[in-house]
Structure 1
């Protein structure tokens, strides 16, 4: 029996553009994504030789613990790829609210995939790992790379690390509620009339080249913003409050409903956090 403990960080999309729908139903995106320095799920993976079942437990009500769980799916894909199995007991302690646009399930899946590959002596190369990850979840490949920031393209499988991307103070507020990925993309297919327009400015490419907070601000953008705001109008209220208390830029992460604000310094973001926590005591609020 061997046990590996892993931390699975949250993510935010500083910029997220949906630019095409593929014939297979997936969408081509452009995004700059950051890993959190403060928000993590904690996962223990115990490898068992007495059985070859995948057993999952989670402390967050509503997270599936059967074959529908991303960790179960990705472990199964890995075993199929290498032609071997081992028993897994996976315990997930959640800090990242599910289905809120900050990558909890995807990060968990990537972390379990890395742990299993470590157990088997790193049998798969980077391309093989990305292929497994992309088949299970389109955000998962991002979490396989080490860099803090990355430019993501394709349907999520193309990940290019961004070196020396500036670290800036970020506050996130999750107003509660969930936005399912199929529904969100369906809304864009119906309403985002300029999705396929080649004349669109490449916000992601511009953002990936910046060096300062001032350079960053104009390129904080998300195509899902209007969809999320229609479903959860409180998003606009939170964004206005963030701006009122010093945020230089605000947006949503992923498909939402999580809102984030970017601040000039730690002192300003800490003051904003205290104010927001007092106003919204039931919401998940954290420095990023």
Structure 2
């Protein structure tokens, strides 16, 4: 048996997040176009006397180190299915923003799942791994597959999408986090009494991804949760305005926020947008990267 396995998992940005009305089970139907971006967490799993989690990196203090952590839940569920005691030490090296709308927690769940599968030699099928991911959370399956995908249902049913080039991104981290359930509750409050249309993927957006056309992608990006995120965190509007003023082709809240995402024409433009955002005083930190990025990968 291997003694240690490390898996690298990417962050994501939602270039389209179309949200339907609340379902009887409390979830929402989504048309969610995910794009994996080159910011990564690394999840390392080592045999131990009992299940324990450690975490290091930016905002590590905010990561739960108990069995509510998706990485712990992934190990427990894979172990349960294969009759294995999940006695492992899971170490998360964080580089994806915490509570930032970039699926860092989901990435850690997918990373721990792939790492435990390799460590234990369970040889779980891809379908089994994706099924466990879907049980863990709506964003977890995409963290496993990476690249680009359309997620429907509550976002967990994935169809891989073609990407015809490299897209350049700038991400601005906010001074505090936002709770995804709180943002969905605000979305429901803001849409109370209104007819919320069925979520449908934008063909214009899918075509722009397939062509690798940043200008066309910029015209097509959308996030139905953005008004709710801005309602709960109004200062994000200043960050979005600063990025637009600096020449970003598109500016949007990433997922449920509060990280804001800026699409740039090329690496040079991304650098200029990042510099302007750092100087604007509207965000805590800024990162530049590219997409698409691979999904969970054993290092």
Per the normalisation by structure 2, the TM-score is: 0.88
1:54 to 40, 51, 54: 51
Q: Conserved in 1, the CA contact under 8 Å of 2:36 and 2:148? A: yes
Q: What are the Cα deviations for residues 16-71 of structure 1, in whole angstroms up to 9, with x where unaligned?
A: 0111433222221111111112x1122221124xx3x2110112112111111111
Q: What are the Cα deviations for residues 91-119 of structure 1, in whole angstroms up to 9, with x where unaligned?
A: 11212221110111100110110111122
Q: Per the alignment, in what secondary structure is the counterpart of residue 114 of structure 1?
A: helix
Q: What are the Cα deviations for residues 247-285 of structure 1, in whole angstroms up to 9, with x where unaligned?
A: 111111110111111111111111221222233396121
**Do the aligned partners of residues 56 and 28 (structure 1) sit closer, same or farther apart at CA in structure 2, a change above 3 Å counting?**
same
Q: Per the alignment, in what secondary structure is the counterpart of residue 62 of structure 2?
A: coil
Q: Per the alignment, in what secondary structure is the counterpart of residue 106 of structure 1?
A: helix
Q: Conserved in 1, the CA contact under 8 Å of 2:66 and 2:72? A: yes
**Cα shift at 1:81:** 1.4
Partner Cα distance (2:80, 2:217) in 1: 43
Q: Conserved in 2, the CA contact under 8 Å of 1:117 and 1:124? A: yes
Matching residue of 1:206:
204
Q: What are the Cα deviations for residues 199-253 of structure 1, in whole angstroms up to 9, with x where unaligned?
A: x7x3444312222122212221101111111222221111111111111111111
Q: Conserved in 1, the CA contact under 8 Å of 2:45 and 2:119? A: no
**Cα shift at 1:120:** 3.1
Q: What are the residue-to-residue correspondences of 1:32-181 with 2, within 5 Å?
A: 32-37=33-38, 39-48=39-48, 51=49, 53-59=50-56, 60-145=60-145, 147-181=146-180
Q: Could you list the runs of 5+ residues in structure 1 that have no partner in the other structure?
A: none
**Cα shift at 1:76:** 0.9
**Do the aligned partners of residues 70 and 195 (structure 1) sit closer, same or farther apart at CA in structure 2, a change above 3 Å counting?**
farther
Q: Conserved in 1, the CA contact under 8 Å of 2:178 and 2:257? A: yes
Q: Could you list the runs of 5+ residues in structure 2 that have no partner in the other structure?
A: 290-299
Number of aligned residue pairs: give it. 281
RMSD of aligned Cα (Å): 1.9
Instruction: Point out the more displaced range, 233-242 or 211-220.
Output: 211-220
**Do the aligned partners of residues 30 and 195 (structure 1) sit closer, same or farther apart at CA in structure 2, a change above 3 Å counting?**
farther
**Do the aligned partners of residues 165 and 152 (structure 1) sit closer, same or farther apart at CA in structure 2, a change above 3 Å counting?**
farther
**Cα shift at 1:122:** 4.7
Q: Per the alignment, in what secondary structure is the counterpart of residue 167 of structure 2?
A: coil
Partner Cα distance (1:204, 1:57) in 2: 40
Partner Cα distance (1:105, 1:88) in 2: 18
Partner Cα distance (1:247, 1:195) in 2: 33
Q: Conserved in 2, the CA contact under 8 Å of 1:42 and 1:93? A: yes
Matching residue of 1:267:
268
**Do the aligned partners of residues 240 and 284 (structure 1) sit closer, same or farther apart at CA in structure 2, a change above 3 Å counting?**
same
Matching residue of 1:239:
240
Partner Cα distance (2:287, 2:195) in 1: 32
Q: Conserved in 2, the CA contact under 8 Å of 1:203 and 1:219? A: no
Structure with greater contact order relative to length (CA < 8 Å, sep ≥ 6) = 2
Partner Cα distance (2:277, 2:189) in 1: 34
